[in-house]
Structure 1
Amino acid sequence: MPTAGPRSGDAIFASVERVNAELFTLTYGATVRQLLTDLEEVEEVNKQLDQMGYNIGIRLIDEFLAKSNISRCVDFKETADVIAKVGLKMFLGVNATVTNWDAEGTCCSIVLEDNPLVDFVELPDTCQGLHYCNILSGVIRGALEMVSMKTEVTWLRDMLRGDDSFELQVKLLKQVPEEYPYKDDE
């Protein structure tokens, strides 16, 4: 099985067609702003961003698997490594590291070295409960669900809230065995 080294994410990122990063960032910002206007409550905006991300994640996994040539990961630890070193690099151009594993190997942190979604962003005092990048937690959750891993993804640290980095906690709740339909030979 190929290892998920940072070069594979870099190579894929270099070869995929991309939209202008500033346009993407500003469009995302406009979307968040519109959600704040329409929904008025920050918690509802957080839920909506997560759901939008989830819907993206369940569709994005096909493109990821087709373009990355990554074979099936053997466990959750390898999967988290692939997300950090290949997936986030492939789609956002972001380097990330996996840290803080629990003893069971079912919970870890993904720390983003950069986050293009927050360029040009400063949260007003009225939005302090907002998880501005909550779309990313939904994307990860949706993509993992499509590869039979039910997870909970939450923000632990957020630079928009004054923290020193962006850190997501990814917790494996249940690994669903894949079922393949078979024909009975009778």
Structure 2
Amino acid sequence: MPPLTAPKSGDALFASVDRVNAELFTLTYGAIVRQLLTDLEEVEEVNKQLDQMGYNIGTRLVDEFLAKSNVSRCVDFKETADVIAKLGFKMFLGVTATVTNWDAEGTSCSFVLEDNPLVDFVELPDTCQGLQYCNVLSGVIRGALEMVSMKTEVTWVRDMLRGDDAYEMRVKLIKQVPEEYPYKDDD
């Protein structure tokens, strides 16, 4: 069944969203990470906090995405991943991701970002080994997917801040939660 309305392109979505100055956003995010490192002292705790912050953001961003993108319900996890990569990343970060490395079951894939606006002006000191600086993004994806009934696990595989050639998140579908709409028959 074709969608009722055609989705907007990623570029059109990016142009239609109110946003703050990219440099201000990048610097503010960096200040948040720095403050978490100071307050929590343990890098693993900072990673957990960034993921939880992202999760909370993702649960709210999905509503805006669905309202502005005119995307109809995706039929499976593969289609959902493609929409996130081409429309979601473009709408909120101004970049697109490549979906790759699918497993045989179609329940696990990678999002590869060659550009990441969160890391402009960032160099990790040696004291921050183990810090997943962009962990907020994995939380956003996890939270957004949970709001559309997909329980996922998101982990970082590659990180350019650590010398890799790209940013890569592995997204694994744990289970698809059926939507339950209570039916009350008053007749």
**1:126 corresponds to which residue?**
127
Asked if 1:36 is matched to 2:8, the reply is no
The structural deviation recorded for 1:185 is: 4.8
Q: % of aligned pairs identical?
A: 88
| Secondary structure, aligned partner of 1:110 | strand
The structural deviation recorded for 1:17 is: 1.6
1:166 and 1:61 map into 2 onto residues whose CA distance is 22
**1:58 corresponds to which residue?**
59
The root-mean-square deviation of aligned C-alpha atoms, in Å, is: 1.4
Asked if 1:117 is matched to 2:140, the reply is no
Q: Deviations over 1:32-69 (max 9, x none)?
A: 00000000010000000000000000011100000000
CA contact (8 A) 1:9 1:89 kept: yes
CA contact (8 A) 1:13 1:93 kept: yes
Matches within 5 A, 1:67-106: 67-106=68-107
Structure 1 segments (4+ residues) deviating >4 Å: none
CA contact (8 A) 1:6 1:85 kept: no
The answer for unaligned runs of 5 or more in structure 1 is none
The structural deviation recorded for 1:113 is: 2.4
2:119 and 2:44 map into 1 onto residues whose CA distance is 19
The two structures have a TM-score, normalised by structure 2, of 0.95
**2:145 corresponds to which residue?**
144
CA contact (8 A) 1:88 1:94 kept: yes
1:185 and 1:18 map into 2 onto residues whose CA distance is 47
| Secondary structure, aligned partner of 1:155 | strand
1:94 and 1:23 map into 2 onto residues whose CA distance is 17
The answer for unaligned runs of 5 or more in structure 2 is none
2:165 and 2:156 map into 1 onto residues whose CA distance is 13
1:152 and 1:16 map into 2 onto residues whose CA distance is 28
CA contact (8 A) 2:139 2:154 kept: yes
Cα gap change, 1:156 to 1:6, in 2 (>3 Å): farther
The structural deviation recorded for 1:7 is: 6.8
2:7 and 2:45 map into 1 onto residues whose CA distance is 36
1:174 and 1:119 map into 2 onto residues whose CA distance is 35
The two structures have a TM-score, normalised by structure 1, of 0.96
